[in-house]
Amino acid sequence: MNLQQIFIENLRKLRSEKDMSQMQLAEKCNTSANYISEIEMGRRIPSFEKIEKIAEALKIPPSQLFIDESAAENVEKKPDAKDYLQKMPANVKKELYSRFLALMKSDINALLDPNEY
């Protein structure tokens, strides 16, 4: 999907989410409903000034009109520690937990050593 298509898709979606007709958006942007319609059909490309007015009318940052949500959905999430722990066998989790507690206890004892004061 190219940038113009992303813009058009986002404009339609955001306008619809705001329950705003093309006419209402046009009034807020001081333009015609026909102009908004032509933008949404890909027949017109708005200027930067018009994009700013559209974003202001929709009460969003202009950059939101250019975010490709379909690409963001296709990005694979990198596994984190929680993901590894969920897949870990119970006996390995138990051993890991035991070692972690032993290390914490050792560190706490070292911090509270009365000879250190």
Mean pLDDT for the stretch of residues 68-97: 79
CATH class of 3-74: mainly alpha
Confidence tier at 84 by pLDDT (50, 70, 90): confident
Between CA 11 and CA 72 the distance in angstroms is: 17
Per-domain boundaries in the chain: 3-74, 81-116
Q: What is the pTM of this model?
A: 0.61
- Residue 72 has what pLDDT? 61
Between CA 5 and CA 65 the distance in angstroms is: 10
- Residue 75 has what pLDDT? 60
Inter-helix orientation angle 3-17/48-58, to 10°:
30
67 close to 13: Cβ distance less than 8 angstroms: no
What b-and-e string marks burial along 100-113, b requiring 16 or more CB atoms within 10 Å of the CB?
Answer: eeeeeeeeeeeeee
